[in-house]
Chain A
Amino acid sequence: MALLEVRDLTVVFQRRGEEPFRAVDGVSFDVEPGQTVGLVGESGCGKSVTSLAIMGLLPKRGATVTGTVTYDGTDLLKLSDKQMRDKRGSELGMVFQDPLSSLNPVIPIGLQVTEVLERHRGLARKEAMIEAKNLLDKVGIPDPNRRLKEYPHQLSGGMRQRALIAIALACRPKLLIADEPTTALDVTIQAQILAVMKELVQDLGTALVMITHDLGVVAGLCDEVNVLYGGKVVEKADRHPLFAEPRHPYTHGLLASIPRLDAAPGEKLTPIRGSVADNIPWAQGCAFAPRCPNALDVCVQVTPAEEDQLGRLLRCHNPVVPGTPAAEEVPV
């Protein structure tokens, strides 16, 4: 059995006097120990809300979470707040996008690391400090003894993100969720952080859920990739087939619209027309249909089901045939 089984996870936000909004709409995926699973999509596709729902971090009022999130045999969504607090930080770790706003600015780094160790592993302050030093060392922070006494603002962005990873890994969680861990960082620092995370997954056998909008990061890191659009998984495949032969027109379009560093000069970019504002509700058909170059009449009438097609899970009435060039750009 998988370490984490997410089934039909749905998050509906409801504000008074407004239409309910389905941010996540029936997302299912599995994570095995030692496996890296990617959730990719653009802003507003529900990837972050998915991670917050798994960790039980969504507000109790206003957000309705349904479905099941089975971690090691227990449904996380049914746990009480107290039970969930015991799991978070010890068995489930999380790394957020912006390390400056997720670290407490008025507490030294050392105490923020030892807090977790004292709370979950019951270490005394002194032992915890030694362990914290080892952790900072492991994630590649130079001179950890000194850094332990410093405050977040005294560290650079890359160092802060490392400190955050150290906190997330303090109790050797079996599952680590990283929500855009490198988006706020420069590319050379991003490469350092990704190398650290890759090493940790290999050494500790941690399962990693990687949430990002950067297809390049996914290509280098993830074993399985889930492409999200408008709150639903539209394509799910292993990274090699996914990048070699994207079948969903959205995945295909995304790959055709990013300039590649190794492309020949004069390469043409084929953007996806319109923007997410053009989406239609999933209830009426395929949300991507108004932007889709492959759209058929059926696409705006029937919601495509998630089906096992062509050796992968796909939610599309008219998948891309491999080998066809990206659709011609429609004049805007």
Chain B
Amino acid sequence: MSETLVSVQDMKVHFPIKRGVFMDRTVGYVYAVDGVDLEIKRGETYGLVGESGCGKSTLGRAMLRLNEPTAGKMVFDGQDFSALKGEELRRMRRRIQMVFQDPLSSLDPRQSVESILIEGLRAHGLDKGKESTNKRLRDLLTAVGLPTTALRKYPHEFSGGQRQRIGIARALALEPDLIVADEPVSALDVSVQAQVVNLMEQLQEQFGLTYLVIAHDLAVVKHISDRVGVMYLGGLVEEASAADLYAEPLHPYTRALLSAIPVPDPVVEDRRERILLAGDLPSPANPPSGCRFHTRCPWRQETRCDTERPVLRELKPGHKVACHWAEQIQSGQIQPHEVQPILVEEGDGLSPDVPLVGPASVTEALNP
């Protein structure tokens, strides 16, 4: 099974930044996703990792057209999903389902589980009579490991892990080909995370599902995925099979990311060398020129890094990296150096130089 199910081509999502009360003036754009290409094969699990603000969730949502992409397209099973309209789009949506991060806020608190599950079936004409629907609902609950008595209950009556199971059952109900899971386990306690991860793996085997798993936890992603894409500031910086990525990270950012993740083993922890990144993620509204990572990269070179944006290129079969100097870094020709952290502006540009007038607190007013 190596047939391509999903192909994303040069996807861009730019959110306008608006100012002004009466006239919405666009003063700039947040480059949330800025030119991503990726392919997902039928039956595989593609993991998308990155830190908050890197655009991974926006990419997932843009693929489903929950946010309309600014440019680029997604081809789903040979059809251009981004060009579909109206009824065609609606029917195609059945085949792509989503599991959200926080099951409590993504399930309607006033709908019973039965009504949550049946809603999608009705919308897509899969509710073909009481008998068969009831059987379908019972099968679904069994598949995700919930008792059939759950049908009459409401989301608040379940624990976090059980709620996520309902979210998965809701997605499964429509017999989708692709499930996009955005942080499916990060809201759960660790002992429960494993239950949901195992359930997702088991369902994939049972129903031949294809997953796009979006998460910030590289350990979870590595465990569940066949292939992993690492995102930084709106672009993919590296893509490889889960094992390769861990064994031989090629991009400096991936190296830093991997070295930063704590491993629950003191022996390993004492031995490990950490690559500490300087400073914070730059603002996606004002991304650095050239390579997006050059402001924090310990391997940054004088030339090319700050002027030329590296493209994702295949260094080894199935292992792609977007770095000008990947070969030299790997061979040790280029050694890491100190990086001075660069100030990152947060919030809107309230000037810090405005003099402070008057006391700032009651204590201060009372004891001048």
Contacts and interface: CB of A to CB of B under 8 A. Distances in A.
B216 A258 contact: no
A298 interface: no
Given A142-B279, A219-B263, A267-B223, A257 B258 contact: no
A108 interface: yes
Contacts of B162: 275
A272 B197 CA distance: 12
Given A156-B280, A332-B145, A260 B264 contact: yes
Contacts of B261: 187, 216, 261
Interface stretch (B26-34, B78-86, B321-329, B342-350): B342-350
Nearest to A270: B194
Contact of B361 (A111, A153, A240, A263): A111
A260 B262 CA distance: 9
A257 B193 contact: yes
A219 B262 contact: yes
Contact of B189 (A42, A104, A151, A220): A42
Contacts of B277: 188, 191-192
Contacts of B266: 219-220, 239-240, 243-244
A235 B3 CA distance: 50
A195 B263 contact: no
Most buried by B among A43, A154, A191: A191
Interface in A283-319: none
Given A220-B262, A277-B159, A187 B346 contact: no
Interface residues of A, number: 66
A159 interface: yes
Nearest to A264: B243
Contacts of B198: 269, 271, 329
B203 to A, nearest CB: 13
Interface-centre pick from A188, A213, A214 (highest chain B CB count, 10 A)? A188
A156 B346 contact: yes
B190 A254 contact: yes
B54 to A, nearest CB: 9
A265 B342 CA distance: 38
Contacts of A190: 260, 262
Interface string A233-263: 0000001100110000000011111111111
Interface in A10-32: none
Interface string B143-170: 0010000000000000111100000000
A247 to B, nearest CB: 16
**Residue from the set B161, B162, B262, B279 with the largest chain A CB neighbour count within 10 Å:** B262
A186 B233 CA distance: 14
Interface in B175-205: 189-195, 197-198
Interface string B83-120: 00000000000000000000000000000000000000
B352 A150 contact: yes
Contacts of A49: none
Interface of B: 51-52, 145, 159-162, 189-195, 197-198, 216, 218-220, 222-224, 242-243, 246, 256-270, 274, 276-277, 279-281, 340-347, 350, 352-353, 356, 360-361, 363-364
Given A42-B189, A261-B258, A269-B198, 12 more contacts: A104-B361, A108-B360, A142-B279, A153-B346, A154-B346, A155-B346, A187-B51, A239-B266, A244-B267, A259-B222, A271-B193, A275-B191
21 contacts: A42-B190, A111-B364, A188-B276, A189-B51, A190-B260, A191-B276, A192-B276, A213-B190, A217-B262, A219-B266, A239-B266, A240-B266, A257-B191, A260-B219, A261-B246, A261-B263, A271-B194, A271-B195, A272-B191, A275-B191, A329-B198
Interface of A: 42-43, 104, 106-108, 111, 115, 140, 142-143, 146, 149-151, 153-156, 158-159, 186-192, 194-195, 213-220, 239-240, 243-244, 253-263, 265, 267, 269-273, 275-277, 329, 331-332
